[in-house]
Chains A and B, each alone.
Chain A
Amino acid sequence: MTRTWQITRALMVAGLLETVRRKDVYVVLILSALLTLGAAAFRVFGVQGLEIFVKDVAFSAVGIMSTVLTILIAARQIPEELQRRTIYPLMARPITRGQLLLSKWVTATLTAGVAFLLLALANLVLLVSLGITLKPIFVQYLLLKLLGIAWLSALVIALSVYLTPPATITIALILAFGSGAFGRLLLMAHWEHGLDALWLNLLYGILPHYDYFDMSKKVVFDWDLAPWGVLLAMAGYAVLSSTAWLFVGWLRFRKQTL
């Protein structure tokens, strides 16, 4: 475990240095600036009676931007090493392919997580500057979203060892943004076929549920804190599900010709 952590730390430091130097962080800053500009428009007209609408727009924007960034960051972790052929000196070291996969997942999660926190912080500052306050459920929203980022990174990394980068990004975007709609369609089908329809339950279980990790609507509508047991259950789902995705990715990557 110590060895795996040493490998993860080395790759993470290099990955973060690259992220900063390739100016990826500028994307986050530009997105934050766009949020500010959007909020400035509200400032012109005032937000009296529009608090919920403003919060909805701001949280939707943060949700979309952080999801797209997570997918883009995770989708390049392994394919870029292969494309640049930097995988050779990397794998010439005494590290296993499983350790590399795990390290890349941690790097992607950390990078995307930091980007999300920056966006969320910018969002918070903007809302407060408009006189809109948030309830403590905002903290639970942050925690759950970070779990979602870890989960999504695992899914995208697994896809990236099977598919080309454009295909990975396309499918990941469909799964991430479509998961809520798929879930609702399946619930409607349940209504039609009965709750005990095995094939529907299987399909619901297999489909990735990124929508589970989104509490933004509850923040928008000022809900009270959710029971911490629910968050714990979500953490369990994220751990199990991410492990399954990484295992599926490893099954292919361990035998892949580099």
Chain B
Amino acid sequence: MHPIEVRNLVVAYRRWFKPPLRAVDGLSFEVRAGEIVGFLGVNGAGKTSTIKTLMGFQPPTAGEVRLFGMQATDARARRLVGFLPETALYSPYLTPYETLRLYGELHGLRGRQLKAQIEALLEMVNLAHKMHTLNKHLSKGMLQRVGIAQALLGDPQLLILDEVSSGLDPIGKRELRDLLAAQRQRGTTIFFSSHELAEVASICDRILVIHKGKLIAEHRLDELVGRVQSLEDYFIRTVQAERDILGKEVQAA
């Protein structure tokens, strides 16, 4: 029973007078306990659709998605999961403290335990001094830190992060790397999508590359060391090769 198991996942969107758009097309992979896995792909590759299905925000058109052995649509599965959405938007009329209290209570935490956890998390993401400022007065980077703190509420065993470093400045990115490294030390499994390939290379154990909804490459990062110039170079070559193959197939058809 792995933290994430995806089998033959298809996510298709219905369109008027056109065949359905298959954003994810027969995707299969798993993430083992304690791993840090980077989920890579160009814009529109199907990353966010996959993550939405993992979080139960979208029912799969076909296939199966399980978190800790439970169906992803089962609310109980999310008790063990922390999630950071791509664009972290939180109620502009609540403060970071109230935002975390809301999500903590929804998670089932309460009382002193919740208060202590909120204060510790806001301290960890360097937002303790803004804990009683309304979210509408915070910068994009600060809101992303609120998002990171809410994802860590309830000591999740699995973190799913969509475009984790979006909006963070270089110092914020460094702090985030340290924070993820600390989570790894605690044995937390992390699955994240990012366009920041240097960041992926510095913290991941394994990468999955998808293109047009299909898995086109899967590697442990230590396998790539010495074989490729950089992760960026590898990623561009892999996606380009896939585009060439698809282009030839279209021409042949």
Given that A7-B106, A255-B59 are known contacts, is A14 also in contact with B91, CB under 8 Å in the complex?
yes
- B interface footprint on A11-40 (CB within 8 Å = 1, 0 otherwise): 101100110011000000000000000000
- Is B194 on the interface with A (CB-CB < 8 A)? no
- Is B87 on the interface with A (CB-CB < 8 A)? yes
The CA of A37 and the CA of B38, in the complex, are separated in Å by 64
- Shortest CB-to-CB span from B179 to chain A, Å, is 18
Residues of B within 8 Å of A88, CB to CB, are 55, 57, 83, 85
Cβ contact of A89, chosen from B56, B75, B93, B147, cutoff 8 A: B147
Decide: B93 and A92 in contact? CB cutoff 8 A.
no
Decide: A91 and B55 in contact? CB cutoff 8 A.
yes
Decide: B55 and A92 in contact? CB cutoff 8 A.
yes
Decide: B150 and A91 in contact? CB cutoff 8 A.
no
- Is A86 on the interface with B (CB-CB < 8 A)? yes
- Is A48 on the interface with B (CB-CB < 8 A)? no
Which among A18, A22, A257 has the highest number of chain B CB atoms within 10 Å?
A257
Cβ contact of B106, chosen from A84, A86, A90, A258, cutoff 8 A: A90
Residues of B within 8 Å of A85, CB to CB, are 85, 87, 89
Decide: B91 and A89 in contact? CB cutoff 8 A.
no
The CA of A23 and the CA of B98, in the complex, are separated in Å by 18
- Is A133 on the interface with B (CB-CB < 8 A)? no
The CA of A92 and the CA of B101, in the complex, are separated in Å by 15
Decide: A84 and B93 in contact? CB cutoff 8 A.
no
Residues of B within 8 Å of A95, CB to CB, are 75, 106
- Shortest CB-to-CB span from B112 to chain A, Å, is 16
Decide: A86 and B105 in contact? CB cutoff 8 A.
no
Residues of A within 8 Å of B224, CB to CB, are none
Decide: B106 and A10 in contact? CB cutoff 8 A.
yes
Residues of B within 8 Å of A89, CB to CB, are 83, 85, 88, 90, 103, 147, 150
Closest chain A residue to B11 by CB distance?
A257
Residues of A within 8 Å of B101, CB to CB, are 10
- Is A60 on the interface with B (CB-CB < 8 A)? no
Given that A18-B94, A86-B89 are known contacts, is A92 also in contact with B78, CB under 8 Å in the complex?
yes
Residues of B within 8 Å of A18, CB to CB, are 91, 93-94
Q: Tell me the chain A residues, 206-258 only, with Cβ under 8 Å from chain B.
A: 255, 257-258
The CA of A88 and the CA of B55, in the complex, are separated in Å by 9
- Shortest CB-to-CB span from B80 to chain A, Å, is 9
The CA of A88 and the CA of B86, in the complex, are separated in Å by 10
- Shortest CB-to-CB span from B188 to chain A, Å, is 16
- Is B132 on the interface with A (CB-CB < 8 A)? no
| Interface size, chain B (Cβ < 8 Å) | 34
Which among A11, A22, A88, A93 has the highest number of chain B CB atoms within 10 Å?
A93
Cβ contact of A10, chosen from B57, B77, B105, cutoff 8 A: B105
The CA of A21 and the CA of B91, in the complex, are separated in Å by 11
Which among A10, A94, A96 has the highest number of chain B CB atoms within 10 Å?
A94
The CA of A95 and the CA of B83, in the complex, are separated in Å by 14
Decide: B75 and A96 in contact? CB cutoff 8 A.
yes
Decide: B107 and A257 in contact? CB cutoff 8 A.
no
- Is A9 on the interface with B (CB-CB < 8 A)? yes
- Is A201 on the interface with B (CB-CB < 8 A)? no
- Is A164 on the interface with B (CB-CB < 8 A)? no
- A interface footprint on B179-203 (CB within 8 Å = 1, 0 otherwise): 0000000000000000000000000
Cβ contact of A91, chosen from B56, B89, B98, B108, cutoff 8 A: B56
Cβ contact of A94, chosen from B57, B75, B85, cutoff 8 A: B75
Cβ contact of B108, chosen from A92, A94, A96, A257, cutoff 8 A: A94
- Shortest CB-to-CB span from B153 to chain A, Å, is 9
- Shortest CB-to-CB span from A6 to chain B, Å, is 6
Decide: A92 and B89 in contact? CB cutoff 8 A.
no
* Between-chain CB contacts (< 8 Å), 9 pairs: A6-B108, A14-B98, A18-B91, A18-B93, A85-B87, A88-B83, A92-B55, A94-B77, A94-B108
Residues in chain B within 8 A of chain A (CB atoms): 52, 55-59, 75-79, 81-83, 85, 87-91, 93-94, 98, 101-103, 105-108, 110, 134, 147, 150
Given contacts A9-B105, A91-B57, A94-B77, 17 further A-B contacts (CB under 8 A): A3-B108, A10-B102, A10-B106, A21-B134, A85-B85, A86-B91, A88-B55, A88-B85, A91-B56, A92-B55, A92-B78, A94-B75, A94-B107, A94-B108, A257-B58, A258-B57, A258-B58
